Amino acid sequence: MIPEIITLLPHLLIIRGEIIPLPFGPSWMNSLQGLTVPFMGNIFVIFLLRQYFMKIPNELWDAARIDGSSHFNFLIKVVIPMSKPIIVTVALFTFIIAWNSFAWPLLILTRDDWYPVTVSIYSFVREVGPNFNLLMAACLIAISPILVLYFFTQKLFIESISNFGLKQ
């Protein structure tokens, strides 16, 4: 995975609207789009999806063509149902990466009420000092959404990870 700090400057230039014109306004600074969109095109996610889709046998496409299926029908009725485990895994990884992000929200947001948990914990430690029992309680609260999400997606997550070790 590429560290977040390496992609900060290119993402910042794009979000400020200096490289390409953005829809919904000239800049996405201090907005929900600016906070979430940069995490959706992660190279790790693209690589994971590519590797999974490369394992789909061509015989499935041939069988779908014989049945008279179009490309779109093949995508909707065959590929996406087969890809449910990897899509859930990608969503889980993307959520964890965005949830743990520290530098990006600190760079583009000025509103304190939009700061994610990591920045809020940092602000809390700066104000209160190193009170470790309160810090550990805040960290437990911060990781609880990830644990709950993993609990509900565990079966599909394990299935997608175990499929990568199989040879065809």
Q: What is the pLDDT of residue 113?
A: 84
Percentage of the chain with pLDDT > 90?
A: 28
**42-92: pLDDT as tens digits:** 888 899 899 889 988 889 989 999 999 999 999 999 999 999 999 999 999
| Cα separation values, 47 from 50, 52, 93, 113, Å | 5, 9, 13, 34
End-to-end CA distance of the chain: 26
Q: Percentage of the chain with pLDDT > 70?
A: 96
Instruction: Give me the pLDDT at residue 141, please.
Output: 92
**Confidence band for 145, pLDDT divided at 50, 70 and 90:** very high
Q: Indicate if the pLDDT at residue 148 is higher than 70.
A: yes
Cα separation, 150 vs 99, in Å, equals: 13
Domains recognised in the chain with CATH numbers = 4-163 (1.10.3720.10)
Q: What is the largest CA-CA distance in the chain?
A: 68
